[in-house]
C-alpha cells in the first residue's frame, strides 16, 4: 500500500520525517545519522523477551540524531500523533536526556519534527534552542517543567 493511501498515524508521520531527512542530507550531511529506535510496538511473547534481553527498553524516544549542535550533545524526538501524549517512561527518558545535555522534543506530526530538526541542525556554536512568542512556522511550541520541548499544530491545542 502506498503511504499516501494509508491512514495518518504516528508511523506514517515518522516515515514522512525520514523521507524528508533523506532528501535533505545534501543540505545537512549529519542527517545521514538520523535514525529510528524501534523500542515500541507489539510483538509475540518470545520475540519481546529476546528483544528485552538484547536491550530494548520502554520509553526510549523514536528518533535520534546523535550529532552535536549548539550546546547540545544530540537530539531526541518522541513522535506522537493527534491527542496522544508521552507515557511516564517516555517523559522520564526525555527528562534524563535533557539533563544530560541533549535537545529533546515531543512532536505531534511530521512537519513539527522537520521544523524541530531544521532548527536544531542550524543552531550556532554554543547556542540553545529558543522560541519567542510560543510558536514557529504555524506550530505551537512550549517547554514543560522538565525542559521538554513540545511542538504541535495550532489546532491540536484547541
**Whole-number Å distance between alpha carbons of 56 and 65:** 18
**Whole-number Å distance between alpha carbons of 142 and 66:** 23
pLDDT tens-digit readout, 73-112 = 999 999 998 888 999 999 999 999 999 999 999 999 999 9
Q: Report pLDDT for 134.
A: 56
List the strands of the sheet with 75-79, edge to edge: 35-36, 63-65, 75-79, 103-107, 149-153, 139-143, 135-136
The partner residues of 53 in beta bridges, in order of sequence, read none
Q: Is the dihedral of CA 21, 145, 91, 101 positive or negative?
A: positive
**Cβ 105 vs Cβ 116: under 8 Å:** yes
Mean pLDDT confidence for 45-72: 90
Please give the model's pTM, rounded to 2 decimal places. Answer: 0.86
Mean pLDDT confidence for 113-133: 86
Three-class secondary structure assignment of the chain: CCHHHCCCCHHHHHHHHHHHHHHHCCCCHHHHHCEECCCCCCCCHHHHHHHHHCCCCCCCCCEEECCCECCECCEEEEECCCCCCCCHHHHHHHHHHHHCCCEEEEECCHHHHHHHHHHHHCCCCCCCCCCCCCEECCEEEEECCCCCEEEEEHHHHC
130 — pLDDT class (breaks 50, 70, 90): confident
Amino acid at each position: 500500500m502506498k503511504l499516501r493511501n494509508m491512514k495518518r498515524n504516528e508511523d506514517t508521520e515518522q516515515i514522512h520525517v525520514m523521507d524528508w531527512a533523506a532528501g535533505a542530507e545534501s543540505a545537512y550531511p549529519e542527517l545521514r545519522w538520523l535514525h529510528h529506535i524501534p523500542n515500541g510496538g507489539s510483538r509475540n511473547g518470545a520475540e519481546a523477551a529476546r528483544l528485552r534481553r538484547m536491550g530494548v527498553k520502554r520509553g526510549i524516544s523514536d528518533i535520534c540524531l546523535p550529532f552535536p549542535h549548539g550546546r547540545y550533545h544530540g537530539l531526541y524526538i518522541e513522535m506522537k500523533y493527534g491527542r496522544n501524549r508521552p507515557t511516564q517512561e517516555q517523559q522520564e527518558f526525555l527528562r534524563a536526556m535533557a539533563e544530560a545535555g541533549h535537545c529533546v522534543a515531543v512532536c505531534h506530526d511530521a512537519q513539527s519534527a522537520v521544523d524541530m530538526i531544521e532548527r536544531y541542525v542550524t543552531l550556532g556554536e554554543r547556542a540553545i534552542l529558543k522560541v519567542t512568542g510560543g510558536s514557529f512556522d504555524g506550530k505551537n511550541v512550549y517547554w514543560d517543567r522538565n525542559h521538554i520541548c513540545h511542538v504541535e499544530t495550532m489546532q491540536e491545542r484547541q
